[in-house]
Structure 1
Amino acid sequence: MANHPPSVLDVSTEAWRLVAGIAAVLTLASLSGQVLRIVVARSEPHALIDNLNKRINSWWVIAIIVGLALLGGSGGVTLLFALASLAALREFVTTEVPARCPRALLLSACLIIVPLQYLLVWHGSYLAYTTFIPSLVFVGLPLLGQLSGNAEEFLSRTRTLRHGLLLCVFCVSHVPALLTLHVGGDPARAGWLLVFLLLIAQISDVLQYLWGKLAGQYPIAPKLSPSKTVEGTVGGIASASMLGAGLSSLTPFTTVEAALISLLITLLGFAGGLAMSAVKRRRGIKDWGKLIPGHGGVLDRLDSLILPAPVFYYVLRYGWAD
């Protein structure tokens, strides 16, 4: 079994600065939200301001949960994303109306396939966790369909489950898989790379939202996501990329490399979010769920990681890993 450090982050000067920076941003956001509630909304119900404050409160909870998982080491991080994948897969499959996936297969996916995928990741079995779900989706389930005697109907009924396993489980599992990489001979470096990915992907989402509210005029994809604007998208991606350049000291990247990789993460995050918005629009839903106040479901927060996570993992594995 792979050796796992008790914590994936070292308590360094950069660590405390990062924690202080995140806490300061969230504190400022909370204070700003309360000022807006009192001054603008006059303590009365206000859809936009109330939603903003819900988002901020949820970010506090998310930040604390992720922080505790990081302190718990690779086991804590793997468990957190396994639970997130379970919730996301359930949202993805059950929001299809009418629900066509056989209940027994969905239960099998949640109770067997998802835990097994994350056990393989935690164990560090690279060949196993990178081929298990793709083999199941592209070979195993089609073969089961042939054995059922009605392959076409079976594949039609399991299409959403197969897509969900690839997007919500396989792709997302590459986030904790980052902890299996050895970069620069520093055991804590992989933990900081995971933090780097999460920060850039999620902050890009937040900044796109803020830029869109402040300066957004022209919708970038009105038929798929009417709330996304050209100004919000460009402003958010550019700002997050500059932030990534500023965090280069946490990574093995130069400042220019960090900026370019951040740009790649944000562009892929935008593409992934837009693709998932298209799925939601086709199903006639606004959010994937209601678990996270102000944000929607778990998948509404993970959609910006679906494409960046595996790409970032393989860029690191073949570009910087020892």
Structure 2
Amino acid sequence: MNDLRTIALVAGVLLLLSVVTGVGQFLKRHPDRGIDAAAVRTFNLRIRGWWVLCTVLAAAFWLGSTATVTLFGLVSFWALREFITLTPTRKGDHRALFWVFFLFTPLHYVLVGLNRYDIYSVFLPVYATLFVLARAAVAGDYKRFLERTAKIQAGLVVCVYCLSFAPALLALPVAAGVDGGRDANFRLLFFLILLVQFADCMQYVWSRVLGQRLVAAAVSSNRTWEGLLGSATSTALLASVLWWAAPPFEPWQAAIVGLVVAIMGFAGGMTMSAIKRDRGVKDYGTLVVGHGGVLDRITSAGYSRMANISGKAMPRPVRRNSISMRCWRARSTGCSTVVHAPSSAQRGSGCRK
């Protein structure tokens, strides 16, 4: 990770965290400023959690793509553990869970690391899902069969499948002719994670400042329509300002990405809130102080990353700048198709296996 723009983005985030940390400590030492002490304490805990998250991510990026994929694999494993811990299971589910934790989850991330999009895109939602059903049935326990297997499958999709699309961005050619090589992919991933965290923060801030109408009072008492609108607008503006850090986007494209990230992150947060209400818990864990458990933090990122990479992988009209994307799709599916560009000068160019 030696690209100057990548280093500038990471350094800028760390500098911003330093400034915000200073503000939080100032407010803590001057309680006479009229700001609620509980809000300041929560704010400082969240800042501490952001320091942990950003430092770990930056270190993984610096070590390379293998370390990054491994990090996300460990996070998925931990999140799935939190999810299953709160999900009632029976003895007949234990063998199926063994295969889920120690075969399907690691193997899925191995496929992500090998850039086998053709396999990992269907490995969990198809093959693992069918295996869980069959293995639970072979165990001979039919009580609440559909309910039990559906919960395991939901955990796989939310905790493993969706989140794995984040490191999958590292194997995605962002655009032809983009400077920085593979560093551009790290910069794009860091940019998107930054947007997810910013959108989550803005959702909370705008809901506290202007929140009037709750989206679903029975599910979440602090998520409002005003918070969603403010978060989407703020995130789109930030993305358009930082467009230079997000190849291959133009400012207006980066703004759309920010909008999608905010909406999908909101959807992920509501999903986890509904599950927590169903299980009667406030947080999934306490791994990161001020941020609850791993599962509390990764759902928004998982929803957003899956939407982002799915949008980038969709077929587009052939243009000069889309040749690298089509080459990537051809390599990941193992085909030897020749991609022809529209102009005569480019005819016959493309990729072969």
Instruction: Provide the TM-score with structure 2 as the length reference.
Output: 0.82
Residue equivalent to 1:262: 258
CA deviations on 1:103-133 (whole Å, 9 max, x unpaired) are: 3332332222211111111011111211111
Pairing partner for 1:276 from 272, 278, 283: 272
CA contact (8 A) 1:208 1:235 kept: yes
Cα distance in structure 1, aligned partners of 2:192 and 2:142: 40
Residue equivalent to 1:55: 46
Residue equivalent to 1:248: 243
Q: Which letter does structure 1 place at the counterpart of 2:203?
A: Q
Residue equivalent to 1:129: 120
Cα distance in structure 1, aligned partners of 2:90 and 2:261: 34
Q: Which letter does structure 2 place at the counterpart of 1:11?
A: D
Cα distance in structure 2, aligned partners of 1:227 and 1:61: 25
CA contact (8 A) 1:200 1:240 kept: yes
Residue equivalent to 1:30: 21
CA contact (8 A) 2:104 2:128 kept: no
CA contact (8 A) 1:69 1:80 kept: yes
User: Structure 1: where are the runs of 5+ without partners?
Assistant: 1-8
- Partner SS state of residue 304, structure 1: helix
Deviation for aligned residue 1:148: 4.1
Residue equivalent to 2:73: 82
Cα distance in structure 1, aligned partners of 2:90 and 2:269: 24
CA deviations on 1:186-219 (whole Å, 9 max, x unpaired) are: 3332222211221111110012222333333443
Cα distance in structure 2, aligned partners of 1:139 and 1:220: 35
Cα distance in structure 1, aligned partners of 2:264 and 2:231: 13
Cα distance in structure 2, aligned partners of 1:193 and 1:56: 23
Deviation for aligned residue 1:149: 4.7
Cα distance in structure 2, aligned partners of 1:289 and 1:41: 33
Q: Which letter does structure 1 place at the counterpart of 2:239?
A: G
Q: Percent identity?
A: 35
| Structure whose CA Rg is larger | 2
Query: Is 1:313 aligned with 2:309?
Result: yes
Deviation for aligned residue 1:310: 1.4
Query: Is 1:208 aligned with 2:199?
Result: no
Number of residue pairs matched by the alignment: 310
Deviation for aligned residue 1:308: 1.4
Query: Is 1:297 aligned with 2:293?
Result: yes
Query: Is 1:194 aligned with 2:189?
Result: yes
User: Structure 2: where are the runs of 5+ without partners?
Assistant: 317-321, 327-353
Deviation for aligned residue 1:178: 0.9
Query: Is 1:94 aligned with 2:92?
Result: no
Cα distance in structure 1, aligned partners of 2:28 and 2:288: 21
Q: Which letter does structure 2 place at the counterpart of 1:248?
A: W
CA contact (8 A) 1:91 1:288 kept: yes
Query: Is 1:228 aligned with 2:223?
Result: yes
Cα distance in structure 2, aligned partners of 1:17 and 1:210: 27
Residue 176 to residue 65, structure 1, CA distance change in 2 (3 Å): same
CA contact (8 A) 1:142 1:151 kept: no
Cα distance in structure 2, aligned partners of 1:29 and 1:158: 44
Cα distance in structure 1, aligned partners of 2:83 and 2:51: 25
CA contact (8 A) 2:212 2:224 kept: yes
Query: Is 1:11 aligned with 2:6?
Result: no
Cα distance in structure 1, aligned partners of 2:173 and 2:10: 24
Instruction: Provide the TM-score with structure 1 as the length reference.
Output: 0.89
CA deviations on 1:133-183 (whole Å, 9 max, x unpaired) are: 112343222233444455564443332211101110011111111111122
